[in-house]
Structure 1
Amino acid sequence: MLDLAETAQFSFQTGPERIRKYARLFGVVTNVIICFVHFQAAVIYILYVATSFQQVIEFFSNFEMNPRVYIVIFFPFTCALGFVPNLKYLAPFSIIGTLFLSLGICIAFYYFFDDVPDPRRLNVLTEILPVPMYCTIFLFALHNMTLYLPLENTMKHPDHMPHLIVGSTLLNTVIYLIFGFSGYNKYPNACDTVIKNLPMEETLAQVVKIAISLSVLFTLGLAYYVPISVLWPMIRSRIVTKSSLYHRLYETSLRLSGIIGTTLLAIAVPQMVPLLGLLSALGISTIMLLIPILIEMSTKWAEATRPMFAKNIVIFIVWLLILIFGTIESTRSIIREYSGIKQEEC
């Protein structure tokens, strides 16, 4: 009944003799990256909700404000969801968010396939440097890596998990590819996210923007739940007092610190796509590409085969390219924004 960090630690403990002394360190590093990934998701969710509602509110009010103001406006909602203490209380929000997301996607497809432009007008090839940043964003869209093992531990038939992972990943990949290509074909110069390019004056488009924004907002609690569930047991074990009041005070302080920290980062760098690319290059790529091959190599070292070595070397090279060039391109985009070279307005 192990989570991802414990699996990483025990893989080193059963691996080659010379790496066993690093087992605990590998587990700690994995936990740090898990927390980083989920706090990163919270930052991106905050930015998406704030900028999407900004577009809707400013359309009806004709009054423009800095996106940072909207981040502050939504801070109480962020706090409320970040303080939900139990996963079972977050489940209804997740279900509602999924319903809103499904509604938004269906209506968005209506716009994409209404009067479809000829895709032959698009360039077959564009620039190569943004590709690694795209890969990091795509990995972010698919990242459920940290939830698989805890979910498997609660399943009646855990041996079904590999089939569920393959099925869900294939389904998500197909949906993202169809949605991405059809959205790009309809709005090739989409800024930020393609949803923001739907015609704001139409009611259906307003419904899409609000529905998907609400789905992201309701999912925000899950982004905070995972790192708190990792950090709080470690902190609680080091608290000398047994007073439940002090425990609640420490836990509240931890949750509030996480919420304030992610909100401040969103305020500091309110450019969603380049920030997502940068954080994903540093965290998501590592948790989805590097750590799994390290676990496999250390666990199966005695019976390792050449195909397994070749596969993991290829994955390592892909991870390295995404890490280096994704970080560089994302950083360049953020610098360009702060240098006054603005992207095309939505």
Structure 2
Amino acid sequence: MNVSGRRQSRNRSKSFKAGECQGNHTTRRRSIAGTFITDPALKLPPRPKANSFAPDGKRDDANGVFEKDEKFKEPEGDYDPYQERVVDHPTTNTETLLHLLKGSLGTGILAMPNAFHNSGWALGLVGTIVIGIICTFCIHLLIKSEYELCKRRRLPALNYPATAEAGLQEGPAFFNKVAPISGHVVNFFILAYQLGICCVYVVFVASNVKDVVDVYWYKMDVRIYMVIFLLPLILINYVRNLKYLAPFSAVSNIITFIGFGITLYYIFSELHGLDEREAIGEVQNWPLFFGTVLFSLEAIGVIMPLENEMKSPKSFGKPFGVLNVAMGLIIVLYVGMGFFGYLRYGENALGSITLNIPSEDPLAQVVKITMAFAIFITHALQNYVAIDIIWNGYLAPSFEKNAHKLYYEFAVRTLLVLFTFLLGVAIPNLELFISFIGAFCLAALGIAFPAIIDQSTFWYHRKGWAFVKMSFRNICLILFGILGLVIGTYVSISNIYEHFSDGSL
């Protein structure tokens, strides 16, 4: 492609809202969690004509079929999205690896001992590794689909919702029909996931502070602590420019890693033998294990933005690239925390392992308070994604000329915090919340949706045995994701109902 052609392509990409991850600062909207949010009013550029991506075969766009079953060939002057990306501050492979590790280490890893309690240590070891491999593979499918769609649309990058819409437009008629709403569906699950994380954070902060205060003062219901933290949570979510939270975020990251280290000290101080723990847990608890592991391992919200911001994005998906190395390390860390945490605390393992360490010990008190502070700060960062989707994506355009637009924005911010607060008050149980969010949101976002997008994207580009293999693989992944979503959500809701019925919530 000549220089003028590249400039024209870049100009087109700047005007395409679904690809706002590239372009000037006035049109680019980024969330701190790394999820580029699609504009609900976006219109993808027209789907390329058949001869632009399949020169040897004419496609009937109305019926979604090829008239000639010829082998796909790349068009002349092939467009490479990686070469067209304009990133202000591109990240190296090492920086991307660290960002991915940091994005995957949070309250989820602290819940892994409880996950192993639901599965048993043997099933937990195998299950966590298998789920981790499946999640990693599905991320590869999503990245591959995004790259292929960017080539066809001649765009430098797409976000998750836009990838879903563009991918379904490329498939047969029954995929085409749902393509217009696919971006909104993806946004719904991202929104549910982010708000769910914020609910978990509300419960986590209140529970850990309560554990410490109970040692020195009379015991109060954990909901009272949630009420105490409500106003500070609202105020911190009023920060519109996240650069003011950056120093606190850096401190919270340091605190988190120190807290992990001290927690490991307590875990290894008194390990029990394998003969004292269940190798295989009760079958009815397996869906809770599935949901918790998905919640803990899956980092689908940060994957595509991190890859889009890389200096060498081709290194991301290589066999020994950033993604595989990062997910390998994450799986090892999560298996280790779950296995040894379960050996230490057994059936008493709670939704956060920090709640198991002795509250009377001053060192443990430091861990609980500092970890609560770190997660408190992170609440604003996670809620920023939800605010971006609801306000910038759906509501702000309606208030563009309203003199009180800022007041409406703060009202939305307040309502979102109140929503996470009320859910936390209603269900102040970390393990139930975590398993529910993992099963309901991440089984779809992390497993089923990438397989559906891959199937539709390459529907007319895989022939014969290759098409059969792709279809069989994706059908298995879709069924696995749907079953995990339905069964995991049902079991989580059933457990929540039981806790309500017996008054333990």
TM above 0.5, yes or no, is yes
Q: Please report the TM-score for the alignment, with normalisation by the length of structure 1.
A: 0.92
The within-5 A match list for 1:180-199 is 180-188=338-346, 189-199=348-358
- Tell me how far apart the structure 2 counterparts of residues 77 and 285 of structure 1 sit (CA, whole Å): 33
* Paired residues for 1:197-236 under 5 Å: 197-233=356-392, 234-236=394-396
Based on CA coordinates, which of the two structures has the bigger radius of gyration? 2
- Asked if residue 307 in structure 1 is aligned to residue 469 in structure 2, the reply is yes
- Which of 327, 334, 337 matches 2:496? 334
Partner residue in 2 for 1:266: 424
Shift of 1:160: 3.2
Determine which structure has greater relative contact order: mean sequence separation of CA pairs < 8 Å that are 6+ residues apart, divided by chain length: 1
Structure 1 contact 133–326 (Cα < 8 Å) conserved: yes
| In 1, Cα distance between equivalents of 2:436 and 2:224 | 23
SS at match of 2:271: coil
User: C-alpha distance in 1, partners of 2:198/2:214?
Assistant: 24
Q: Which residue is equivalent to 1:109? A: 264
CA distance in 2, matches of 1:174, 1:80: 38
**1:178 aligned to 2:336?**
yes
- For 1:288 and 1:312, locate their aligned partners in 2 and report how far apart those are by CA, in whole Å: 13
Task: Tell me whether 1:136 sits opposite 2:136 in the alignment.
Answer: no
1:35 matched to which residue of 2? 191
C-alpha displacement of 1:83: 2.1
| TM-superposition CA deviations, 1:169-202 (whole Å, max 9, x none) | 2212211110111111011022332221112221
Per-residue deviation, residues 105-125 of structure 1 (Å, max 9, x unmatched): 111111111243222221222
Secondary structure of the residue aligned to 2:209 is helix
- 1:57-136 → structure 2 map (5 Å cutoff): 57-61=213-217, 63-136=218-291
- When the two chains are superposed, the root-mean-square deviation of aligned CA atoms in Å is 1.9
Q: Does 1:169 align with 2:327?
A: yes
Q: Which moved further from structure 2: 322-331 or 88-97?
A: 88-97
Per-residue deviation at 1:3? 1.4
Question: Deviation at 1:336?
Answer: 2.1
1:237 aligned to 2:237?
no
Secondary structure in 1 matching 2:283:
coil
Gaps of 5+ in 1: none
Alpha-carbon distance in structure 2 between the residues aligned to 1:295 and 1:88: 35
2:200 alignment counterpart:
44
**TM, length-normalised to structure 2:** 0.64
Is the counterpart of residue 291 in structure 1 residue 453 in structure 2? no
Distance 1:247 1:166 in 2: 44
User: Which residue of 53, 70, 79 maps to 2:209?
Assistant: 53
CA distance in 1, matches of 2:168, 2:231: 43
Residues 22-44 of structure 1: CA deviation (Å, up to 9, x unaligned): 21201111111111110111011
Aligned pairs for 1:16-27 within 5 A: 16-27=172-183
Query: Could you tell me which of 411, 434, 437 is aligned with 1:276?
Result: 434
Question: Contact 1:3–1:150 at 8 Å: present in 2 too?
Answer: yes
- Partners of 2:330 and 2:498 in 1: how far apart? 32
In structure 2, C-alpha distance between the alignment counterparts of 1:95 and 1:161, rounded to whole Å: 25
Segments of 4+ moved more than 4 angstroms: none
Against the structure 1 CA distance between its residues 17 and 322, is the aligned structure 2 distance closer, same or farther, given a 3 Å change threshold? closer
- Match in the other structure for 2:485: 323
Query: 208-217 or 247-256, which moves further after superposition?
Result: 208-217
Contact 2:452 2:478 in 1 (8 A): no
Match of 1:9 among 143, 153, 165: 165
Distance in 1 between residues matched to 2:227 and 2:304, nearest whole Å: 35
The structure with the greater share of residues assigned to helix is 1
Equivalent residues of 2:298, 2:442 under 8 A apart: yes
